[in-house]
Amino acid sequence: MTQQDAQAGADTPRMIAVSSGKGGVGKSTVTANVAVALAQTGLRVGIVDADIYGPSIPGMLGIASDGPPPVSPDGKVIPSEAFGVKVISMAMLSNDDKPAILRGPMVTKYLQMFVRQVDWGQLDLLLLDLPPGTGDIQLTLAQAFPLSGAVVVSTPQDVSLKIARRGLRMMEQVNVPILGVIENMSGFTCPSCNTVTHIFHQGGGERIAEELGIAFLGRVPLDPAVVDTGDAGTPLVAAAPDSQAAAAYRDVAASLIRDAAQVGGIGIPFAWTLTEGTGKPAPAAAQPGGAPDRLVALDYGDTGLLLNWSDGLEQRLGPRDLRLACPCAQCREEMTGKALLIPDTVPLDIGITRIWSVGNYALGLAFTDGHASGIFTFESLREMTGAELEDV
């Protein structure tokens, strides 16, 4: 990990993923309108259009692609901006009719670039508009960056809700907090008689939220103006702020502001280079009722690595104990878990030189002996108690 990566990690804002189990539920439309609604409250907001193969955010915000985006003097891409929202998208790097024919490693490279190598400036929130499904892009982002939370967009119909449930479970498995469910296309109000017709059934999003014990962020009604304004490049919350759908978007934005603040734990990517004193994450508040295994603070000193967790657990783990517990393939047999590292080869005075985040579930550690390939999951770190503490 380079010094540039470390600085990038230190400057990255809190990130919220907007996902859906299937396509066609209006996820990108929701993302664009909620982002503008957030910006209207005074927050500094950005969007990463993470749908590499089918980018649509620039068109919805009226951002034209006039060639490659400019680059800052320090080599970072300068994002476009519209309606107070900064945006980076694959659509800005290619012509409208040019397909992105990319294999997995290149997709990962672009996603990393969109977050780490863009001159975002100071942001409060960065929304990640994910492609539908639970595939490589979703997993890459969840493992590469500690997400402050995820929002799932669904229509009320049963088939959409069943697939949305899979998306929720996928985020839970990689320890991403679920901020809630948004029910899009929730009923159509006749402009002539004001009769509400529930084309895709009614109340499904609220039911699935209740079943899974997560927040229901609100319903966005069907409104032809959503399509018209999106095609025109002006989000509904800006073009028709008095409409029912615009009010629904603002309600969702208000819920996100509240719920993201209540997640607790360190929710930003970081890369702390101890030797240079750069990239250390600021402590976060532990929220009542939050997940117990959220890391809220860490430090490193003469007594070793200090970890504070959201349930009040405090740990002091010695660097030599951590080095001996390294789970990488060089230090431990992958199938049996048997230790391959010979303890006598680990210096008694070994130290830690770098600490970085790995998604929402692990820390990466680099040691003074040059070893830096071990990924320490939060679960394994929390299990290191007793003898490890006595050796510090």
Residue 285: give its domain's CATH number: 3.30.2020.30
The predicted structure's pLDDT at residue 289: 55
Distance in angstroms (rounded) separating the CA atoms of residues 22 and 184: 13
Instruction: Please tell me whether residues 47 and 82 are part of one structural domain.
Output: yes
Is the residue at 266 inside a domain?
Answer: no
Dmax (CA) for the chain in angstroms is 82
Look at the chain and report how many structural domains it folds into.
2
Written as six digits, the tokens of 350 are 């070994």
The predicted structure's pLDDT at residue 48: 93
Partners of 178 in the β-ladder: 150
CB 47 within 8 A of CB 17: no
Distance in angstroms (rounded) separating the CA atoms of residues 372 and 352: 10
Is the residue at 6 inside a domain?
Answer: no
Task: Give residue 153's domain range.
Answer: 13-261
CB 92 within 8 A of CB 58: yes
Is the residue at 5 inside a domain?
Answer: no
Instruction: Please tell me whether residues 290 and 344 are part of one structural domain.
Output: yes
Written as six digits, the tokens of 299 are 């430090």
Look up residue 96 and give its amino acid. Answer: D
Is the residue at 7 inside a domain?
Answer: no
Strand (E) or helix (H) holding 45: strand 45-49
3-class DSSP assignment, residue 126? strand
> Strands 14-19 and 304-309: what pairing?
unpaired
CB 89 within 8 A of CB 77: no
Instruction: Please tell me whether residues 171 and 319 are part of one structural domain.
Output: no
Instruction: Please tell me whether residues 167 and 221 are part of one structural domain.
Output: yes
Domain boundary among the residues 208, 241, 261 is at 261
Written as six digits, the tokens of 13 are 């804002």
Partners of 147 in the β-ladder: none
Alpha helices in the chain (DSSP H): 3-11, 27-40, 57-60, 104-116, 136-144, 158-173, 204-212, 224-232, 236-239, 244-261, 319-324, 378-383, 387-390
Instruction: Please tell me whether residues 253 and 340 are part of one structural domain.
Output: no
3-class DSSP assignment, residue 17? strand
- How many Cβ atoms are within 10 Å of 136's Cβ, its own excluded? 16
Is the residue at 4 inside a domain?
Answer: no
Instruction: Please tell me whether residues 256 and 275 are part of one structural domain.
Output: no
Distance in angstroms (rounded) separating the CA atoms of residues 85 and 46: 5
Instruction: Please tell me whether residues 116 and 33 are part of one structural domain.
Output: yes
Instruction: Please tell me whether residues 256 and 285 are part of one structural domain.
Output: no
Instruction: Please tell me whether residues 121 and 178 are part of one structural domain.
Output: yes
Is the residue at 154 inside a domain?
Answer: yes
Is the residue at 65 inside a domain?
Answer: yes
Q: What are the pLDDT tens digits along the chain (392 aa)?
A: 333 333 334 345 788 989 887 677 888 999 999 999 999 999 999 999 988 777 889 999 999 877 778 898 888 999 999 999 999 998 887 765 555 556 656 777 878 888 888 999 988 899 999 887 666 677 777 777 778 888 888 887 766 667 777 777 777 777 788 888 888 887 776 667 666 677 766 666 777 788 778 888 888 888 888 888 888 999 999 999 998 889 999 999 998 887 665 655 676 678 899 988 888 988 876 665 556 677 888 999 888 999 998 888 899 999 999 999 999 999 999 888 889 999 999 999 999 999 998 877 889 999 999 999 989 988 899 998 643 433 33
> Tokens 């863009």 label which residue?
118
Is the residue at 219 inside a domain?
Answer: yes
Domain boundary among the residues 207, 235, 261 is at 261
Instruction: Please tell me whether residues 253 and 281 are part of one structural domain.
Output: no
CB 115 within 8 A of CB 48: yes
Give the domain CATH number at 93.
3.40.50.300
Instruction: Please tell me whether residues 290 and 240 are part of one structural domain.
Output: no
CA dist 148 to 18, 45, 176, Å? 11, 14, 7
Instruction: Please tell me whether residues 241 and 275 are part of one structural domain.
Output: no
- Contacts of residue 141, defined as CB under 8 A and 6 or more positions apart, other chains included, come to 17, 50, 111, 128, 130, 147
The predicted structure's pLDDT at residue 126: 92
Domain boundary among the residues 228, 243, 261 is at 261
